[in-house]
A and B are shown apart, each in its own frame.
Chain A
């Protein structure tokens, strides 16, 4: 499978716990995006990387969220001290610069 893969597919965590998600993009894609999507809404931009450089982070994102792409390949998104409002689908996408984006299946986070 040469598509975008995300792990885990589902995560249930207690409020206050830290969680980390992983995204493996298509190997030749230099751009990697993280989005958050709640029911009935469009993908909300969180952050994106061009190779290993994090070029932009949403101003809506609190300091509890951090993302890395250490070698310009896979990426991780960490949420510290989770809150119930963090419950959502977290989508990763990769693309060749401003070309079409390929999405992974997403990680569904439920904070209880």
Chain B
């Protein structure tokens, strides 16, 4: 079955440093979504990418969808303590498919 892996599993940065998480799917995705889950909370939608090679920005966050539509990345510039949480990618393999989540990357930011 489809597998979605993320690396790293965990990253600890000082506030102001950059952070990147990478997402790799075993199968081609029709689109990819990113979610953030704060400690004790539930996943909250951040963004959806649909086109091959697509890049989207949300303030300090930059999302990329790979050319082959099998990988994606999330980059945070100048992290802040409010960025703490676990970031998940999730994707569909087709319109009739389920939403499969990645393994997640937990980000810890300290002053």
Output the least CB separation between B36 and chain A (Å): 11
**Chain A residues closer than 8 Å to B31, beta-carbon distance:** 98
**CB–CB B43/A97 < 8 A:** no
Q: Are A100 and B104 in contact (CB under 8 A)?
A: no
In chain B, what residue has the closest Cβ to A31?
A: B99
Can you name the residue of chain B whose Cβ is closest to the Cβ of A59? B1
- Contacting pair B102 A104 (CB below 8 A): no
Size category of the B interface is 20 to 34
A62–B96 Cα distance when bound, in Å, is 23
User: Is A99 a contact partner of B104 (Cβ separation < 8 A)?
Assistant: no
Q: Is B95 an interface residue (CB 8 A)?
A: yes
* Chain B residues whose CB sits within 8 angstroms of the CB of A44 once the complex forms: 101
CB of B103 within 8 A of CB of A91, answer: no
Could you say which of A16-24, A35-43, A80-88 contacts chain B?
Answer: A35-43
Q: How far is the CA of A99 from the CA of B103 in the complex (A)?
A: 20
The 22 listed contacts between A and B (C-beta, < 8 Å) are A33-B98, A35-B101, A41-B103, A41-B104, A42-B102, A42-B104, A43-B43, A43-B88, A44-B101, A48-B99, A91-B43, A93-B43, A99-B48, A100-B33, A101-B35, A101-B43, A101-B90, A102-B45, A103-B42, A103-B44, A104-B42, A105-B42
Chain B residues close to A by CB (< 8 Å): 1, 30-31, 33, 35, 42-45, 48, 88, 90, 92, 95-96, 98-104, 106
